[in-house]
Structure 1
C-alpha cells in the first residue's frame, strides 16, 4: 500500500480527498502541526506528497523547497490560485504536477496513478546505467556524472532524459513525451512539459550538458550525442 501525505489545511476538503483515496487503497496521512510539516514528512516517509500552496505558517512553496532539498519523493500541488506563475514556480521547485481547484477527483487519481507507476515501476528495468556525452546516467539513483561532477535529478527530470536518450539524435515529439510522462495528455497543459524540460536543461548545465538537449520548434526535443573529436 502506497503512503500518501496530504498537506491541506481545509479540514472538509482534506477529509473528502482522504476518504476517496482510502477507497483506492492508499494510506493517507495529514498534518497535525503546520509549523512542523517537514518533521512530519521525515517521520512518515510518504511515497507521494500532495500539497496546497496557501497554508498556515509557511506556504506550500516553502515546504516543497525544503522537501525537495532532502528527497526526490513525487510532489503534486493543489491550489485554488489560478495565476500561471504559481504553476511555473511549482515546477521550478521540483514538483511533478499541478492541479487547480476545484478539480474532478478522476483527474487527481489519474495523475497519482501515473506518477506512482512511473516512479516506482520503471526502475525495474535491467539496464540502470547509460553512457551519454561522456557522462554516466544512473537511472536507479537518478544521478548524472561526468568529469565536472555529479547531479541528482528529480523523477520527472531523469525520466525525460531517459526518454530522450533512448532516441538520441532523433526528435521526440511533445505529444509522445507528455503521454509517456502523464499517461493522459488531456489532463496536462503544454506549458507543464516546457517547464520540466527547461528545468532539466538548467540542471544539466551544471555539468556542461544542457546544450545537448535541443528544442525543435513545433516538433519536440532531441538529445544530441556528443561528436567524438
Structure 2
C-alpha cells in the first residue's frame, strides 16, 4: 500500500516514514508544495497523511483539490487542536484528524483502520460500474475514461458531466438538468461554472482524439456526438 505524507517538517516526516515503512508501507514525501496534485497523480497513493500548516497553501486547500481526483482516505495531522479545525478538516474532505504530538502506534492503528475500511475486509465489495458509448468507456468509481488504447483521468466535475451526457446519449441534455445533476443547489452556481467545466471536459476528450464530441445545441443544452 502506498501512502502520501504531506508534511513540511522534515524531521517529523522522516520519523513517520521510517515507522510506517517498518510495517511494509511505501511512504512518499514531497520536497516542494507548489504542485501537489501532479505529485499525487504520479504516485496514485492508497492513503494520504495531510498536515494543516503548509507552505504556499494549507492542508484544507489541498484536500479540497484532491477530492476532485480521489476518494482515498485522508488523515489530517496537526498541532492545531481546536474543534473548529477538526470540523473544517472533515468538511473539506478529510476522514480523520490526529493532533500532534501523537503516538506512532496510534497513527499506525488509524492508517490500518482506514485502509481496511477502504480496501480490506470492511470495504463494501461491489462490481465496478461503467458506461460505454461506441468506443468510449467511462469508469465513474475511478474517474477514468478509456478510448481504444488511451486512458485519461477526469476531475470529479468533468466525470459527472460525462456520465450524464453518456447516460442520455444521443439525446440533448439541458443546461438546467446538468446543473441539477452535478450541483446540489443550483441557485448558488454561476451558469458560467458549467461552461468552464464543459470546456475542460472537451479538452480531455480532444486529447483522446474525440474533438468536437460534445455539441452545443443552441437554446437547449449539450449532446454527446461520437
The TM-score, its normalising length taken from structure 1, stands at: 0.55
How much does 1:93 deviate?
1.1
Q: Any runs of at least 4 consecutive aligned residues in structure 1 with deviations exceeding 6 A, and if so which?
A: 126-129
**Higher Rg:** 2
Partner of 1:170: none
Give the match for residue 177 of structure 2: none
Kindly report which structure 2 residues correspond to 1:64-213, keeping only aligned pairs within 5 A, or say none: 64-120=63-119, 121-123=121-123, 125=125, 141=141
Deviation, structure 1 residue 70: 1.7
Report how far residue 73 of structure 1 moved: 1.3
Cross-structure match for 1:42: 41
User: TM (normalized to structure 2)?
Assistant: 0.55
1:44 deviation in Å? 0.7
Change (3 A) 1:61 1:125: closer
Tell me whether 1:62 sits opposite 2:42 in the alignment. Answer: no
Could you tell me which runs of 5 or more consecutive residues in structure 1 were left unpaired when the two chains were aligned: 130-139, 143-150, 153-202, 207-229
- Residue of structure 1 equivalent to 2:13: 14
Structure 2, unmatched stretches of 5+, are 130-139, 143-155, 158-181, 186-226
Q: Secondary structure of 2:94's partner?
A: coil
Distance in structure 2 (CA, Å) of the matches to 1:34 and 1:126? 36
2:116 touches 2:123 (CA, 8 Å); kept in 1?
no
Aligned length: 139
User: C-alpha displacement at 1:32, in angstroms?
Assistant: 2.1
